[in-house]
């Protein structure tokens, strides 16, 4: 599925579920940006917590935690949750997330290109 179709599908689901998706004022837009940012940070935090446990298990024989292999499905789920929040944030900002990512990748190519081994 194309990124634009994913975003549209998520937006449609958000509207059906009663989540704010249309705003009359910048104040409403900022309030929703804050809410979704908190949600995004929560998902990133969950990802980080799982990774912390993976690291502890890998470096401390007495710690009984997950391996990267066993935790990978949960990590992928947390990334997907975070991505949904990123899509919501882009919609609120009336952004073209795909174009913005491509533009940033080009800027990074210019910035980090000299680091490539040739």
pLDDT digits (tens, 9 = 90+) for 16-39: 999 999 999 999 999 999 999 999
C-alpha neighbours within 13 Å on the C-beta side of residue 65: 18
pLDDT digits (tens, 9 = 90+) for 73-94: 999 999 999 999 999 999 999 9
pLDDT band at 1 (very low <50, low <70, confident <90, very high): confident
pTM for the complete prediction? 0.90
Question: Who's near 105: CB < 8 A, 6+ residues apart?
Answer: none
Q: CATH number, domain at 39? A: 1.10.287.1080
What total number of domains does the chain contain?
Answer: 1
- Domain containing 74: what range? 3-115
């Amino acid at each position: 599925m194309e990124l634009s179709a994913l975003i549209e599908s998520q937006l449609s689901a958000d509207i059906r579920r009663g989540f704010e998706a249309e705003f009359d004022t910048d104040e409403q837009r900022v309030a929703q940006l804050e809410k979704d940012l908190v949600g995004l940070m929560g998902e990133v935090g969950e990802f980080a917590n799982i990774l912390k446990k993976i690291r502890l298990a890998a470096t401390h024989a007495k710690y009984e935690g997950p391996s990267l292999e066993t935790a990978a499905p949960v990590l992928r789920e947390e990334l997907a949750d975070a991505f949904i929040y990123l899509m919501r944030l882009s919609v609120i900002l009336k952004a073209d997330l795909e174009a913005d990512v491509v533009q940033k990748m080009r800027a990074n190519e210019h910035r980090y290109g000299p680091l490539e081994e040739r």
